Amino acid sequence: MKNTLLAISLLAFSAAALADQEVYGIDNSHSFANWTIRHVASKTSGTFSDIKGKVLIDRSNLANSSVEARINMLSVNSSHAKRDEHIQKEEYLDVGHFAQMEFVSTKVEATGANEGILTGNLTMHGVTKEMSFPFKVLGADFDPWGGYRMGLEAHTSLKASDFGFTWPLKPKAPVGDEIEITLLIEGLKNTMDFKPW
């Protein structure tokens, strides 16, 4: 009897936790993975503009949230078409063999009402690494078209060589190893049966 009651309690707790989660699909046309990297004696920057996935947010308990995102490496844009073609080649991103980057969160730690530390597994160039980085919930509101949107911002940096890229290891390499990343994610939820933040 005790085991049955325990099982029922656990199921009820899980159901309540899931009920608090709001599911947002990443709006591909309003989300960006912006990057900056050293080039010779300066820096160059660009973005990946094709991002898909979902964000589960628990407003009352950010630790009960999660993120899954996939970035199309073919969407790299440095505002220079010939450079983008070069970046996509095997010498750099090797998109012919590894056309997708994926992040799946494993843990969220709240550090404030609307911010925290996101930890998860990033897979790129066939290599998976655990990463942790700060994020902030920018807000949420109804849009002019009847949808409901939520915004996230996150910052991190990584070393290309940690993911098997060899360009930074060459003598006097013109392109650096460390990549600074800013994620600007806008999620869209279609239902309107709840109040804005």
* CA nearest to 35, candidates 180, 173, 184: 180
Evaluate whether 98 touches 72 at the Cβ level (below 8 Å). Answer: no
For the stretch 73-88, pLDDT in tens is: 999 999 999 999 999 9
For the stretch 20-73, pLDDT in tens is: 899 999 999 999 999 999 999 999 999 999 999 999 999 899 999 999 999 999
Structural domains in the chain, CATH included, are 21-189 (2.40.128.110)
For the stretch 152-176, pLDDT in tens is: 999 999 999 999 999 999 999 999 9
Choice among 58-62, 104-108, 175-179 with the minimum mean pLDDT: 58-62
Pairing of strands 51-58, 66-72: antiparallel
